[in-house]
A and B are shown apart, each in its own frame.
Chain A
Amino acid sequence: MEDEMMEGGVVKKFMYVNRKAPYGTIYALESLEVVLIAAAFEQDVSLIFMDDGVFQIKKGQKTDGVDMKNFSPTYRALEMYDIEKLYVCKESLEARGMSEDDLIVDVEVLERAALQDLMDEQDVVFSF
């Protein structure tokens, strides 16, 4: 499968950096829309949640009272699109009094050095 992808065209490492909280601004929602489209391009996709971006994947979001669409379940659907590389900045998570148990998806929690390495190996970095 991987060989086929290589033959079919270029496979680049794309990273989507999520540093903004949901609802207060539209960045998180529209960023997720890009990721869903990106899945169709068979590139090597990673998502990183850091700073207030960790709030995007907080469990238990209930948006009825603000009449906005709760898009957090969509993060759980990413797996079906073969987007499985979800990373969270450990420091950001801890600073906000949260742990992996508070998150709606399975993620890999990264310390600073691992995060530096991950960013450094990317070909394209999209931040919204």
Chain B
Amino acid sequence: MLHIVNKSPFEKNSLEQAISNSKDGSAILLIEDAVYAAKSSSSVAEMVKGALGQKTVHVLGPDFNARGFADEDVLEGVTIVDYSGFVDLVENNGTVQSWV
């Protein structure tokens, strides 16, 4: 299953809910304002790191870059994807749930 999160983790609990309500083996994709969660250092970095063992975490590069972060600013273990990679995640992970 693919869980898409688009909310800043500093404002809403969507990422927290996506992490805690997804099964091991799920993929989590951060888009729009959720990309701030993919920064290498922040108060939510530990939460994201905690998810990385059991789930894959991906960040939409175009959204990350648009907000002033370069690819090297990404948290270790988080994969950067472009829109083509977004499509692949949708294709390869079964049902999609958006935590809007």
Contacts and interface: CB of A to CB of B under 8 A. Distances in A.
User: Do chains A and B directly touch (beta carbons under 8 Å) in the complex?
Assistant: yes
Contact of B95 (A117, A123, A128): A123
Interface of A: 17, 19, 50-51, 112, 115-117, 119-120, 122-125, 127-128
23 contacts: A19-B17, A19-B99, A50-B17, A50-B21, A51-B13, A51-B17, A112-B21, A115-B21, A116-B22, A117-B23, A119-B1, A119-B21, A119-B22, A119-B23, A119-B97, A120-B22, A120-B23, A120-B95, A122-B97, A123-B95, A125-B95, A127-B97, A128-B100
A40 to B, nearest CB: 22
Given A51-B17, A119-B1, A125 B22 contact: no
Interface residues of B, number: 14
Contacts of A116: 21-23
A124 B21 contact: no
9 A-B pairs closest in CB distance: A125-B97, A116-B23, A120-B23, A127-B100, A127-B98, A122-B95, A120-B1, A115-B21, A116-B21
